[in-house]
Structure 1
Amino acid sequence: MKVLGVVFKGYNSGIIKFVTEIIDFLQNTGFEVYLEKNQADKVGKQELSIKSFDSKDLDALVVIGGDGTILKVFHEIARDIPLIPVNSNSLGFFYDLNRDNYQKAFKLIMEGNYYIKTFKTGSLTVDSIKISDFLNEIAIYNVKKGKMFIFKLFRNGELITGGRCDGAIIATMLGSTAYSLAQGGPIIDSELDALVYTPISPFTQFLKPIVFSSESSLEVQNFVDSLILVDGILQYEVKKDSKMMITLSGKNISFVKIKAFERNFFAKIKRRLFDEPFTSKFF
């Protein structure tokens, strides 16, 4: 693994300095480094500029930022390039590397001491038209703000549940620790492939979260004009009585892992549940 792309979030002086330090370190360590033009200009590395990451045969993509940066990269890059996330001081569930350990980690990568871990993602179609893949979740609401979402949910053609609520979330395993969890959904072990349905503020207590197997084909039938929010980034409006199909068949996402720095999944969960480091300021 020698050819790396670098993408980052934020243009304040602290971020630019950190990104520049990482790029200089990678080059000094022997990596070939590239950035897309607009970001190469921001850090004064025009000589490393390329048109797009999809146009270059990269071994991996270094993502500097937080979880939102991972989501942005997932939706902007068409192919599955292995990601090496480096946290820039934000809460990052996808991140093992940070300011303190990235140099040791990249030296290990240069020596070949790493492995690739791949996860499945979700796919959304509406009336047989592919709309989007999703990494975390899709959330479906009534297009009229403040009005209830009315729906039925089918699995492989069988009616499972339905009713009235503020909205419905369908999440992947990776997304089970995000919006779905905040709405009372279950945490899915990182070793499992699954889809999770979680109602948002249901009108009746009988609407409960459900975990579906990775082979499930879910259909949401809406009885009101609806708004679909994909990973908190993309928005789509659909007419009532649309046929929304959700499966775990999106493009894969892969991460470069170094055993010496890999954080335990449930250690990340505890950090997420206790909202560290925010709560450490008060307790």
Structure 2
Amino acid sequence: MGRRKETKVETVGLVVRPGSEQVARRARRLAAWLERRGLRVLAHRDWAGSAGGRPVVGRSAMMREADLVIVLGGDGSLLGVARLSGTPPVPVVGIHHGEFGFLTESDRGGLFNTVAKILEGPLRIQYRTMLAVRVRRRGRVAVRSQALNDAVVTRGTFSRMLTLEAAVNDHRLGTYMGDGLVIATPTGSTAYSLSAGGPIVEPSMSAILLTPISPHTLSSRPLVLSDRSRVSIEIAPDCDDAVLTLDGQEWFTLERGDVVEVARSRNRAAIATAADGSFFEVLQSKLHWGARGERKG
């Protein structure tokens, strides 16, 4: 259930999944429709060539200037925008067309009708925990970013097993040997963590998940930690083929002795929705959770 937030929407940012002329046409129609309602539209530079003279900005500028950002695309497109959330967060809504989307709204009822439901009355907002991620290398911070779904330490190009030393709040947790580790938010519990055997966690919970990927020992099981925890993952001295990915989109090569530090970010993502549906309804409709199988005979 999302919270209702009194936000006067005057400027709408519009982000379009690149590479699709069909989506670009839908974006132009939506921009004109929004302008007829008296709203100012900012176009993301990915579709600057067909923005029709509208102001063109990058994602960071859009997150500063817009009152609401509409993303036409799937979950990946929404993650790329929401990961830039600051304080206070700008509401972001993703709308997908004819494809699977766990975080995004479907436009089956019509694109304009879907957006109209979002804009009518106070915005329905779901606030989501984000992760602050740093990589320390030889005493200095080499990487600083954040993620909405997950931070994943995994193998690069070679098939050798990784050895990772994990600690929580400066207390040694143990040695993980396998294909890597997923550090996920409750939002990310239905993404990579789930495919690696992690639990599904309700997005409103205050938690951080630690899920091993193909662990070498059966005793390496997923953990659910408090979101006040600070997780540290050190790359073993004999591992020279590890990478860090954030939301499956940002990619960093890790070196021997690097320490990946993950904690709850001071920023939250604000996901706007078209309806007050429950998380369990989303599980049932999109993951077929608890679906009754057909009986034979």
- The interval holding the TM-score normalised by the smaller chain is 0.7 to 0.9
Q: Distance in 2 between matches of 1:184 and 1:49?
A: 45
Q: Distance in 2 between matches of 1:217 and 1:69?
A: 28
Q: CA deviation at 1:242?
A: 2.1
Q: 2:263 aligns with which of 243, 247, 267?
A: 247
Cα contact 2:16–2:46 (8 A) shared by 1: no
Shift of the 109–143 alpha-carbon distance from structure 1 to 2, 3 Å rule, reads: closer
Cα contact 2:42–2:57 (8 A) shared by 1: no
**Alignment match, 2:175:** 162
- Give 3-state SS (helix, strand or coil) of 1:249's partner: strand
Aligned-residue RMSD, C-alpha = 2.3
Q: Distance in 2 between matches of 1:74 and 1:84?
A: 9
Q: Deviations over 1:103-157 (max 9, x none)?
A: 3344345443323332120111122524221111111124451010111211111
Cα contact 2:41–2:54 (8 A) shared by 1: yes
Matches within 5 A, 1:53-64: 53-55=59-61, 57-64=65-72
- Give 3-state SS (helix, strand or coil) of 1:46's partner: coil
- Give 3-state SS (helix, strand or coil) of 2:42's partner: strand
Q: Which has the higher helix share?
A: 1
Shift of the 173–206 alpha-carbon distance from structure 1 to 2, 3 Å rule, reads: same
- Give 3-state SS (helix, strand or coil) of 1:103's partner: helix
Cα contact 1:108–1:114 (8 A) shared by 2: no
**Alignment match, 1:210:** 223
Q: Which runs of 5+ in 2 are unaligned?
A: 1-8, 290-297
Q: 2:31 aligns with which of 18, 23, 33?
A: 23
Q: Which runs of 5+ in 1 are unaligned?
A: 276-283
Matches within 5 A, 1:56-135: 57-75=65-83, 80-127=89-136, 129=141, 130-135=143-148
Q: CA deviation at 1:188?
A: 0.7
Q: 1:48 aligns with which of 45, 50, 54?
A: 54
TM-score by length of 2: 0.82
Q: Distance in 2 between matches of 1:201 and 1:52?
A: 38
Shift of the 214–38 alpha-carbon distance from structure 1 to 2, 3 Å rule, reads: closer
**Alignment match, 2:276:** 262
Q: Which amino acid aligns with 1:243?
A: V
**Alignment match, 1:233:** 249
Q: Which amino acid aligns with 2:150?
A: E
Q: CA deviation at 1:274?
A: 3.8
Q: Distance in 2 between matches of 1:81 and 1:168?
A: 30
TM-score by length of 1: 0.86
Q: Distance in 2 between matches of 1:138 and 1:67?
A: 16
**Alignment match, 1:185:** 198
Q: Deviations over 1:178-209 (max 9, x none)?
A: 01101100011122021111111111100000
Q: Deviations over 1:50-74 (max 9, x none)?
A: 2335446211111111001012223
Q: Which amino acid aligns with 1:246?
A: V
Cα contact 1:36–1:53 (8 A) shared by 2: yes
Cα contact 2:166–2:173 (8 A) shared by 1: yes
Identity percentage over the alignment? Answer: 23
**Alignment match, 1:278:** none
Q: CA deviation at 1:75?
A: 4.4
Shift of the 105–136 alpha-carbon distance from structure 1 to 2, 3 Å rule, reads: same
Q: Distance in 2 between matches of 1:101 and 1:191?
A: 29
